[in-house]
Amino acid sequence: MATDQSEKPGAFWDAVPQLTDSDIVVELVANAGAFKRPDLLQCQYIERAIEQSYRALAGDAQPQIERVAVLDELSRRTLSVWLRIDADAAGDDKEGPALLKFLARGMLAMIAWMDGSRRPQLSNLHQAIRVLAWGTSVTTAAHPPLPSSAKLIGAIESWQRAKNAAMANQSVRVITNNGSVELDLLKRIADPCALLVARTLLNHSVEMIFVVDRPDYLGRRQWQLRHGASPTEVLVNPGTRLDKFARREIDVRPGDGLRCRADVETSYGTDHELLGTNYRIVEVLEIMPAGWTDREARAGAMSTAAPDRSAEFEPAS
């Protein structure tokens, strides 16, 4: 949705004669038919979305948002909240003003992209942010660094939570010194995380060894396995040896190894970084107990080390 620099918050404009690039005003209005007035709990979700948007756009800087004032107009059923960005946290004295202008315009562009795109793509948002970086003199580089895709998705999810917290028959406007925008409370992105994936590579029937973290005790064909340092949920196709585990015909314990053939799906983002890897086991070649000999040896040692107390109960002669 396009921004409009001419619109100002109603009575709040009397208290704030002129907004600076550090200021943001959030205005929540209960329209006709709304059964409840806006409250600060709903506004807190919007504040978090604004802060996450600023942090996603700010790179290494960590801008902080503080609440300056709140105006609850009972007759107009309007709640206005005045926020201010901590300039010291947003950047140094030289780059701070340009950065604050860029952050405000970038946040408005993000909202416009979310609410105005029929088929949103992160590449379009990245390009809009790059143009804003040039226009606000934040950078003189021909190709300024783009914000992290993962942080942008985090901000988008935060905006969707803010929309979910808003009431029906309510309007929400975010006003800055660089323009304003009204949220489309009905617009949603079905799966924001799916926007991260730019390319997926699939390798079929790769032979590999997993370590069991937690067997499939619930019979969902989802095993908690490790391949490397991090545990992951792995789906097991029907018809493998692990079907016998569900029927209690074999014993598989944490720490055991599974030599398998698996389909490996690797996802990469728009900036070509690795996003994640999914595994699907299609065949189990071998189940390898973990330290079976050591366990048996320890069990034998414990049995021989236990004292024989049978003599204590022999009848007296």
User: What pTM was computed for the model?
Assistant: 0.64
The CA-atom distances, in angstroms, between 44 and each of 112, 215, 222 are: 21, 41, 38
Per-residue confidence band for 222, with pLDDT thresholds at 50, 70 and 90 = very high
**126 and 232 housed in the same domain:** no
What SS3 state is found at 149?
A: helix
**85 and 175 housed in the same domain:** yes
Higher pLDDT, 122 or 106: 106
Q: How many domains are there within the chain?
A: 2
266 has which bridge partners? Answer: 201, 277
What SS3 state is found at 147?
A: coil
259 has which bridge partners? Answer: 209, 286
- Residue 316 is predicted with a pLDDT of 47
Higher pLDDT, 199 or 24: 24
**125 and 273 housed in the same domain:** no
DSSP structure class, residue 3: -
Least confident of 33-37, 232-236, 302-306: 302-306
Residue whose structure tokens are 């709990």: 41
The span from the CA of 71 to the CA of 78, in Å, is 8
The span from the CA of 74 to the CA of 30, in Å, is 10
Amino acid at 275: L
Whole-angstrom Cα Rg for the chain:
29
Q: Is residue 20 part of a domain?
A: yes
Residue whose structure tokens are 């598989």: 252
pLDDT digits (tens, 9 = 90+) for 287-297: 999 875 445 54
- The CATH number assigned to the domain holding 275 equals 2.40.50
pLDDT digits (tens, 9 = 90+) for 41-91: 889 999 999 999 999 998 777 888 899 988 888 888 888 899 998 756 555
**145 and 264 housed in the same domain:** no
Mean pLDDT of 7-20: 62
**210 and 239 housed in the same domain:** yes
Q: Which backbone phi and psi does 85 adopt, to 5 degrees?
A: -85, 135
Its domain, for residue 205, covers: 195-290
The span from the CA of 229 to the CA of 218, in Å, is 24
**107 and 200 housed in the same domain:** no
